[in-house]
Every structure is written in C-alpha cells, then in structure tokens.
Amino acid sequence: MSSVVGFDFGNMNCYISVARQGGIDVLTNDYSLHATPSCVAFGQKNRVMGVAARQQVFTNFKNTVLNFKHFLGRKYNDPVVQQIKEFVPCDVVELPNGNIGFKVNYLSEDRIFSTEQITASFLFKLKQITETQIGQKVTDCVISVPFFFTDLQRRALLAASKIAGLNVLKLVHESTSIGIAYGIYKSGLLPPEAEPAKIVAFVDVGHSTVQATLASFHERKLTVLGSTFDLTVGGMHFDAVIRDHFRQELIQNYKIDPKSSPKHWLRLLDECEKLKKQMSANVTAIPFHIECFMNDKDVTGKMARAQFEELAEPLFAKIRTLLTNLLKETGVQAKDVSEVELIGGSSRIPFIKQIVAHLFNREPKTTMNQDEAVARGAGMMCAILSPSFKVKEFNIKDYVPFDIKLVYQGAGGGKAETTVFKQAEDFPFAKMLTLMKTESFSVVGMYEKPNEIPFPDTYIGSWEVREVTPLNGEPRKIKAKLRMDGHGIFSLASATTTEELPPEEDEPMEPATEAPKDQPMADGTGETQQNENSQNNGSQKEGEQKQGEKKEKKPRKITTEYPIVENVPFTLNVDECILAEQEMQARDFEVKATADAKNAVEEFCYSMRDKISGELAEFVLPEEIEIFQSLLQATEDWLYDEGEDAEKPVYVHRLNELKSQIEAPILERYQKKVQEERSRKEAEEKAKAAAAEAAKGQPAEEKMDETGDSPQVNKEKSPKGKK
C-alpha cells in the first residue's frame, strides 16, 4: 500500500499527518514532539535538521538556517527577502544570477546552498521521520502552501520536493486545507445541498503571515469564496516588537546593544517569544530575565499585556484591515458568517480574538486544533487523491488567487492580451484560446494586477510554439490549451490545429470470385449478419452491397500538435542538486553509523562492568576480575582520548575484541551451567516419574495413556470392573 502523507510546511514548524486505521493521525518526530522546527544546520562532519538543529542554534548560529520558507522562488533584492533576512542567523548572500544563497561552513569548508537545497534537506528529514513512524517507504505526499504563493514559488517547492525524493500529488492551499479538515470532520453539522450554504471564516495567524478565508459549506462540498493575506504580520513580527522595546531598555540601562551581535540578537528574540506566550495567559506584568547575556551581564525587565498591545497596535491595525477587506472583496456581510475559527499559534494572543469578535459580531471558536488543522487537511487531501483509500465523496472548489493574462502578437501585428484566469475561479481548469498564425509564435503569461501579488515581478513565463506554417497561403487556426493545474501552476499545455481534407478515393478492386458452397469466402469468416436496411428483412452476407451503390464518404480531419518550448524564470539545475543531496545523505548515514558503533562500545563497557560484579560474577574466575576491569577501563579511556573521533571499522573491531576477550569465556561458562541445570532437572523429573509408576506396581513404559495412543500391556480389569 502506498503512503498517504500530508506535510504542513510552516515557516517555524512543520507537522506531518498520515491516513491510517480509518482516520488521520499527526505523527511525532524523533524527539516525541508533533512540531518539527523548520531548521537546517551544518557541521564539521554532517548536517542536522529539525529539533536537533534548533537546539544548537546558539552554539552554531553561523551555520544554521531558519525562516527560509518565503525565500523560495525569490531574488535577493526582493523586499520580502530583505525584510525576513534579519531573522536568519547565517549569512544570506546574493548569487551572480540574483538568486539567494545561504553561506555556511560544512565539512570544514565554506559552502553556499540555494533555498531549494535547504528546503530539500528539511523535507528529507520529514520523509525520514514519516518512514520511521509508519514503517514503509514514503514517496507520494501532499504539501500545504500559502494561497498567495506565486507560480515561481510553487515551481521552486516542487523542485525541492523532487530533490528530497518526494512525489507531490498536490500543492494544497493552507486555507483550503483548513476547510477540508473542517468540512470532513464536521460533515454531520453541515446543511444538505438543497439548503443555503453555511459560511465559515478561518483566521490563520501563523509565524510569518496572517491569512483569512471565507468558505461556504454543504454536507459534501467546500467552496472557497475568497482569501486575504498580509506578509508583514505574524508571530515573529510580534516577537520583534517586544525585542525592539527591550533593546532600547538594554541600551539605556546596561549600555549594551544586542543588535551588534547576531548571536545575542537571536537569543533576545527567543526570550521575547517566551515572554509573549506568558503574557497571553496572564494579565499581570511578566518578569524578563537573561543570565550572562552580553559582556557577562545579567539583564532584567518586565512587560504587561496592556503594554504589549499598545506597542503592537500597528500590527493589530493590519489584521483589522485584512479582515475588513475579506468581507468587502467577497461581498459577504458579517451577519451572514455562521462561525469564525481561529487557527495558528499566534491566534492565541487575546487581543486578536477581540478584533475578530468585534468585526464579525460573534465570538471566534477554537474547536479545531490550532496547530495541526492544516496538516490534517493535507493528509485528507492526500487520502482523497490516493487509490489506496476510499474516502466519502467531498467536492472541493478551490480558488485562483490572482488574475492571469496572456500577452501575444495580435492579428494586425500589434500587442494583444486577454485575461485567461480570473481571481476566484475554480482550478484545476483548462481553457482554449484560438489564434490565427502563419509562423512560429510566442505567448507570455503574466499576473494582471501587480499591486495584488506579493512579488516584484508579474512575469510568469513564455511559451514558444514552433513549426507553424501557412495553410495554402492563409493563417492556420491554432487552438492553444491554457491550463492551471492542481498545483496552481500556469502553462500552455498544447497547441494544435485541425485540417479538413477531402475523402480518400476508393482503389479499384478485383471482381470477387464466388466461393464453392460449404466453403468460406477468402476472408475466412463465412459469417452473415442481418441487413437492417433491407425492406423485406432478408439477409445478406457481410460486406455485400448492391452493384452500383456507392457509400457516402466523409471529409477526413487531421489534428497536428506543435512542439512547445517553455521558458520560465526558474533556472535551478535539479539533477545536480539531487546528486549533491544524495552525497550529503550518504555522509549523514555514515556519521550516524559511526556514532552508533561508538555508542555500542561505550554501552558494552558500562553494562559488562556491572554484570561481572553482579549477575555474572559467579562465572568470572578470581584471576580474571582485575584483568577484565582493567581492559574495560582502558577502553573507556581510549574512547574519550584517541578513540574520540575514530572511524566506524575501528569501533567495530574494538567491540569484537572485547566480546571475544571478556564476553565469550563468561558466556561459555554461563551456557554450560544452564545446560547442566537443564539436564539435572530432566533427570530429576524422569526419576520422579519412574518412582510414581513403580509405586503403582507397573513399569512406566508399559502404561497406556488414557487416549490409547500407545499399546496397553496389562488389560486385566480390577474386581470392580475398573481398568
């Protein structure tokens, strides 16, 4: 059975869901946590991802990559990149082609990795976690993305998934994923198709963005009505507000500026995040304290919730605007919204709940798991797409986020353009556009409204249709098939023309020779069929026609498909990245195997020392005790000295030596005693059995059991008629 996996790829954390045992489960990682930090760190021997990478961020911050999600598909000079760059511990550099690179020290040399490579490393970690938990290979999956991801960003994520060895069945919008989870889990509370739909608002306040969505529901149907977003509001922006406040206090009170040190700037941000969470649960002022912060100084402070709400008012104002625009753009009035669900970790901030309640005139609910809702919806989407699972019918009408237009050369030679996909239309979907052309031509896909997309460039890509020639000196009618696929990626799927030709002329045929009776015709069938056109309902042989009657010929149609050359701004060499990723995976595996071998030696020393003085002491000769103890101690000393950084074969050899010198003689004596004890018990049991039979006056071997399986020698009955 193929895997059915959903990944909620978040900026701060990722959650993994799988469909199994009739439901959707959210998996735990190698640290028994549901949340796996979106973090990749590089070291002198290997790389680490997830929890292990996040735990060492302060000791290895120059080689740790965080908050890389929104760098996918973007250039270095993108305003979003410049805004988020300060939240990344390692150096973010501009590559010669304008793309983004993360500069780290890996295997004792400086390396630069692209955003797609970093993302692939992290996705591979998620793949490993999933395979460990479900016990089978993982390839097919569904990954959630923000609905506002552009075409280029989606292509970049698909490339990263391919590098990681994943086959993405669908990139599902995070807002749609939440709607799927809501619609399927609460299908019993939704109205049937004949009744008015139930309208629900989802407000997702994540780590890096806020997304708000309106969706209508019937019992087996989800329709996304509209969504809005803001990339400048999220959990990390609230953390930054608190951090900026305490920075000024530290400058004033302690004469230190944490922003001058990337390590301390990052540590201050982490402490402010903890403070934010505490303020969400307490009204009173919360103390702020960091020991040995900068210049070995202990710093303190405090902040109350009211003060935080005042500092963060500009961010709260953006959320108000975002929700107001959602109602305005969809044309839905607040009174028509039946429920409002809060999603995302930062939605726990009390003032956000107040804003939502005020705008929708109802208290928001948290009946869905605020952290896992997106992952569960992605898992359900994968189950719907997978042939391995049977899911009850649930119709999903997704939402095209931005208008897309096609630009091409018009009939008069001038520039022409037409809108091919409009915002709020369903997808996946394909449309046909007819163009009159006499030669090869190109079309360009672009976003129509630059101010609505979170991207500096409206260009999507161009497609060149080749080998087009005139038809009898006239333009050909080219049918261009434009497609928005299930991932939300736009393309020119095909370009064809259909030519109508006159019917083919019949070739002269030799007159048929009548076959003898009782013999088949030359075709070897000899079958007959009923002629439905015969007025007297008589029968004729198959293929027989009246002499002189001609069959009406229809014109022939020939469809020609022209070759298309796609040119999109995504230029990553995926094959090279796959090879590089495989090399890093092999290195990671080698380092882990070496560490396991070293741990095995260390574990043997500890356990054997306890055993030779405990449970196995009776099997150790007096003269061996001191020798064994010295050998174990020497091995421990070697592990923390010369053997600290040995190769795997060295550890394996060392362990085998210990087993042969210490364990083997002890086990031999132990097994000998066990065998002797077993033989002694068997002899005692036989003796007891023989004694019992002798007491009855019968040889034990001549006694027949009650089942009659062996012959009975003594068949005399007792005086009372008993055997």
Q: Pick from 443, 439, 452, 440: which is nearest to 417 by CA?
A: 443
SS3 20: strand
Closest by CA position to 175, among listed 441, 473, 643, 488: 488
Instruction: Give yes or no for a contact between 581 and 127, defined as CB atoms under 8 angstroms apart.
Output: no
The SS3 of residue 397 is: strand
Please tell me the predicted confidence (pLDDT) of residue 715.
Answer: 43
Q: Over the range 8-47, which residues count as b (16 or more CB within 10 Å of their CB) and which as e? A: bbbbbbbbbbbbbeeebebbebeeeebbbbbbbbbbebbb
Tens digits of per-residue pLDDT, 407-456?
998 776 788 899 999 988 888 899 999 988 888 899 999 999 999 899 99
Q: What is the predicted pLDDT for the residue at 664?
A: 84
Instruction: Kindly provide the residue ranges of all beta strands, DSSP E only, lying in 527-650, ordered along the sequence.
Output: 528-530, 539-541, 556-561, 564-567
**Contact by Cβ (8 Å): 224, 399:** yes
**Could you give the residue ranges of the DSSP H alpha helices within 506-647?**
574-612, 622-639
Rg of the chain, C-alpha, whole Å:
38
Q: Which two tokens mark 469?
A: 């020639």
**pLDDT number for residue 612:** 81
Give how far Cα 106 sits from Cα of 102, 109, 255, Å.
Answer: 12, 5, 36
229 vs 212: CA distance, rounded Å: 6
Tell me how far apart the alpha carbons of residues 365 and 296 are, in angstroms, rounded to a whole number.
46
> For residues 317-333, b (16+ Cβ closer than 10 Å) or e, as one string?
eebeebbeebbeebebe
Burial status of residue 480 (CB atoms within 10 A of its CB: 0-12, 13-18, 19 or more): buried
Looking from the CA of 627 toward its CB, the CA atoms found within 13 Å total 9
Alpha helices in 425-513 (DSSP H): none
- All residue ranges of the chain with pLDDT < 70 are 1-2, 412, 504-553, 697-723
> How is residue 587 written in tokens?
């290195």
- Decide: 39 and 53 in contact? Cβ < 8 Å: yes
Residues 6+ apart with CB under 8 A from 693: 699, 700, 703
Length of the chain: 723
Give the amino acid at 301: G
pLDDT computed for residue 484 by the predictor: 93
Q: Which structural domains are found in the chain, ordered by start?
A: 5-233+316-385 (3.30.420.40), 404-503+561-567 (2.60.34.10), 574-681 (1.20.1270.10)
C-alpha 650/C-alpha 668 separation (Å) is 26
Phi-psi region of 150 (alpha: psi -120 to 50; beta: other; left: phi over 0): beta
Distance CA 396, CA 279 (A): 39
Return the closest-CA partner of residue 118 out of 62, 61, 71: 71
The answer to whether 6 and 181 are in contact (CB under 8 A) is no
Distance between CA 544 and CA 526 in Å, rounded?
A: 12
Q: Do 36 and 16 meet the contact criterion of CB atoms below 8 Å apart?
A: yes
Tokens of 86: 């300060």
pLDDT of residue 524: 37
